[in-house]
Chain A
């Protein structure tokens, strides 16, 4: 049996009526030990902010587990939501407060470096676009990551969150550029 899939349509300009949650950006309470904050801007092809986007993240717990029945390893950290959702503001900024994800066994062998999967929805995007956030400090793990290995070297840095310049520990910057010239790498999932 195979049913035809329901096609995607754009989220449009008015998603903030229905989709943002007050606690959406806070995967964990900001007071949680080890909490990190990832902020950045969503920018269009003219380097203008995208003020009506929704950024969603999904990730493992710090030990690399998922509290999900389809993780064949079992386990998981009860109560860790793993999911973040942030609307962008007038300057195109989003914010996610979470814990660092862990490393994971990769499909086909090897190990995936700690990462978050990211969905970006916006007016003008007829389907979501998907990217990943990796961390600059995980140099060795990133070098061995089989997904980063498929990305042309010159574009890999678009997938790396960097410590906020001059910022306190645990604050990272990850901008999402939807279009040329420094277009973020997007994945076909």
Chain B
């Protein structure tokens, strides 16, 4: 689609913006080093879907989905979870730099020992009765989210001999359009497990991989309390290709 065509789409007198998907950012579904793709990744090419009203709108899930306690994963149980307490904050933006306010952010993660509070996780590391690993919040009017949690542990998995996942927190985001939906994982700076992780490395562009890594931030860090990390999340912008034709043709 040329930039001119994508600038606005519509029907008759109706016009609406589209949220074009830039090439080369997301991992290819067929990534055989990640073995679970072998029987699950579709084999046939996806068919291009021009963005209609169903694609440029989306669920605006709001305050009814969250309570203030949902953003603090450390105070939900009788005692405090074990592990390194951390504050995680950042902005949800679109690729044009506009904040995405009032959007639902959901996270889930392993405990400090690298064990998920999930019946299917059989890693022989201890469960923590004071940690369930799920959190949610809404971004504020400037697109900012914030969680208090503990740093998740690394854990082994059976993808290949001696495979270990780098420490990570899972994120789910909606934005304001069906086409902005994003599910991803956030990693920590300098993790020595990156080089052997086929999920992290499934992203073809090494620069794009770096965008999944949070940064330690001493301004977020609270003295005598918790380390602070910043991580901004960028969802698709409206008319992205129209605004940056160079990206489209690179």
Contacts and interface: CB of A to CB of B under 8 A. Distances in A.
Most buried by B among A50, A124, A150: A124
Contacts of A82: 59
A165 interface: no
Contacts of B27: 7-9, 126-127
B40 A178 contact: yes
A102 B53 CA distance: 12
Nearest to B207: A4
B36 A123 contact: yes
Nearest to B44: A183
A31 interface: no
A33 interface: no
A135 interface: no
B112 to A, nearest CB: 15
Contacts of A66: 53-54, 57
A123 B143 CA distance: 29
A126 B37 contact: yes
Interface stretch (B76-84, B93-101, B220-228): B93-101
A82 B54 CA distance: 10
B47 A151 contact: yes
Given A187-B46, A187-B49, A188-B21, A7 B26 contact: yes
A119 B236 contact: no
Nearest to B30: A126
Interface residues of A, number: 76
A70 B16 contact: yes
A150 B48 contact: yes
A107 B52 contact: yes
A71 B120 CA distance: 42
A52 interface: yes
Contacts of B191: none
Given A14-B121, A72-B10, A183-B44, A6 B233 contact: yes
A2 B179 CA distance: 17
A152 to B, nearest CB: 9
A105 B120 contact: no
A1 B97 contact: yes
Interface stretch (A16-24, A136-144, A166-174): A16-24
A93 to B, nearest CB: 17
Given A18-B133, A188-B21, A7 B209 contact: yes
A110 interface: yes
A36 interface: no
B34 A5 contact: no
Most buried by A among B21, B53, B132: B53
B52 A104 contact: yes
| 7 cross-chain pairs, A with B, having the tightest CB-CB distances, nearest first | A18-B108, A124-B36, A124-B40, A83-B59, A105-B11, A188-B46, A187-B49
Given A124-B36, A147-B52, 9 more contacts: A4-B207, A9-B203, A14-B116, A15-B108, A17-B116, A105-B11, A107-B51, A151-B47, A180-B44
Interface of B: 9-12, 14-18, 21-22, 25-29, 31, 34, 36-61, 65, 93-97, 106-108, 116-118, 120-121, 132-136, 170, 172, 176-179, 181-185, 199-200, 202-203, 207-209, 211-212, 233-237, 240, 243-244, 247
18 contacts: A4-B208, A5-B208, A6-B234, A9-B203, A10-B199, A16-B118, A17-B132, A17-B133, A45-B43, A58-B58, A105-B10, A105-B12, A107-B16, A107-B50, A108-B9, A127-B29, A129-B29, A179-B42
